[in-house]
Homo-oligomer: A and B are copies of this chain.
Amino acid sequence: MNLTERLADRPMSNPRADRVRDVAGLAGRSARSKRGLFLAEGPQNAREALARHLESPCVDAVYVTGDALAQHPDITALLERVAADRAVFVRLVTREVLAAMSDAVSPQGVVVVCRSLDVPAAGILRPAPQLVAVLARVQDPGNAGTLLRAADAAGADALVLSTGSVDVYNPKAVRSTAGSLFHLPVAVGADLPELVRAARAAGCGILAADGRGDVDLDRLQDLSAARAAGAPVEDTGYDLARPTVWLFGNEAQGLSEEEKALADHRVAVPVYGRAESLNVGTAATVCLYASARAQRRAGRAHR
């Protein structure tokens, strides 16, 4: 029985059904944590969840409207392959049912129920990583998701959320990742001092993003460029091309003194204008791209 036959069977049309309530309940942290499941909503997340499932099973159920299937042939093709796995529950639903399941203000025709993907923090440090983003008590789900997407774009090996951070499986966080949650290993509930110790042992330098930091990111970038070009460069104590773990802090307070003390250097993204600072998502993107560029440049220079 192929996908079309399975789906044609009988669309779910009762928005008050128990199953609908169960799916909708995953918008809450306690239900997610208890059941080990979370919601991936919208075409981009669905696409990435299904593609990931074909490499490493993570999808529990898929609910999709006929309109969404017609509009996204690539998702239909992926779903056809995923549906061959009898452990995945795939159902056509009406728009009303999808809206009742979804946490989004504008549901986009598909909801994928996935199993939690996070890995132990120790796991992300084997083998030796080049670039890791650590979120220390970041609270806003949109910021966490944006940061995960930016870490993915910058080619980071992994993202870590410390204890006291927002739940990365919060539906708004997942939406903000635009699928990146399915791309790179994510560790949650990490103990920061322990993580930093292990990262050092794995050969990483530790940088703390800090608007009042004593090291200017532009200066690190200039020195790294000069070094890669073979120019004689004074030793500033940190080569941006090194394997690096970046620490990013809470939106309102930034990193605490204890958190900053874990780092080799406190690095400031320079503010050229009158803004007091950048927000954590944009500051982190600038930092991660600076490391990624330096590492790639050094890689080219060594070849």
Q: Are B156 and A276 interface neighbours, CB within 8 A?
A: no
The 8 Å CB contact of A286, one of B179, B184, B225, B286, is: B286
Q: Is the CB of A179 within 8 A of B276?
A: yes
Query: A279 interface residue, CB < 8 Å from B?
Result: yes
| Cβ-neighbour of A272 out of B222, B277, B292 (below 8 A) | B292
Once A146-B282, A286-B289, A289-B286 are accepted as A-B contacts, the answer to whether A180 and B225 lie under 8 Å apart by CB is: no
Total count of chain A residues near the partner, CB < 8 A: 40
- A278 lies within 8 A of chain B by Cβ: yes
**A156 CA / B269 CA spacing, docked (Å):** 15
**A178 interfacial by beta-carbon distance below 8 Å:** yes
Q: Are B225 and A277 in contact (CB under 8 A)?
A: no
A243 within 8 A of B: no
Mark interface residues in A203-225 (1 if CB within 8 Å of B CB, else 0).
Answer: 00000000000000010011001
With A153-B269, A153-B278 given, name 11 new contacts (CB 8 A): A146-B281, A150-B279, A155-B271, A156-B273, A183-B273, A184-B273, A269-B289, A281-B281, A281-B282, A285-B285, A286-B286
Residues of A participating in the B interface, judged by any CB pair closer than 8 Å: 44, 142, 146, 149-156, 176, 178-180, 183-184, 218, 221-222, 225, 269, 271-279, 281-282, 285-286, 289, 292-293, 296-297
